[in-house]
């Protein structure tokens, strides 16, 4: 191998290692700062049909966070949804969480309807007022049965 070629390979390797050495800490620092701008919360639902981990959390149609976990509570068979939300958004104690979208309307998301109460929820607190998603199947059943009842009556 000629010395020029060998010198080039050593230089190229040093540049690659330097870029990697700078990129990894920068990515970690960015992720750390990103996580610090959010607060973790949770909400309990009877059903979360269509909602997935990574789904958006919205307030008035604006994305302010994301769903970080969905798990079944064995004792009650309710579904615990954990999410992170921009810490500048004050979530009052009387706020409500609903699941919107899904099926024909695109991806399901967690919708927060902010309350008016002065007491604000903190990290790890639970939004106690929730509404499960409206099932297209149940809407069709109601519609079909209501038209059958109207024809019979």
Reported as a single tens digit per residue, the pLDDT across 29-55 is 555 455 568 999 999 999 898 899 999
Of residues 85, 91, 93, the one with CA closest to residue 66 = 85
Is the pLDDT at 84 greater than 60? The verdict is yes
Of residues 122, 79, 117, the one with CA closest to residue 99 = 79
Reported as a single tens digit per residue, the pLDDT across 93-142 is 999 999 988 666 578 899 999 998 889 898 889 998 898 777 666 667 77
Dist CA 120 CA 89 (whole Å): 10
């Amino acid at each position: 191998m000629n010395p020029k070629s060998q010198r080039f390979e050593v230089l190229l390797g040093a540049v690659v290692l330097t870029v990697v050495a700078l990129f990894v800490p920068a990515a970690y620092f960015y992720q750390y700062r990103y996580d610090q701008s959010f607060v973790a919360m949770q909400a309990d639902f009877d059903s979360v049909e269509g909602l997935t981990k990574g789904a958006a959390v919205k307030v008035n149609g604006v994305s302010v966070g994301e769903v970080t976990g969905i798990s079944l509570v064995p004792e009650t068979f309710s579904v615990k949804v954990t999410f992170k939300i921009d810490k500048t958004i004050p979530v009052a104690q009387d706020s409500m969480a609903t699941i919107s979208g899904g099926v024909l309307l695109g991806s399901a998301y967690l919708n927060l309807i902010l309350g008016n109460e002065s007491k604000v929820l903190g990290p790890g607190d639970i939004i106690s007022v929730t509404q499960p998603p409206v099932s297209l199947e149940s809407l069709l059943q109601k519609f079909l049965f209501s038209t059958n009842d109207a024809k019979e009556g």
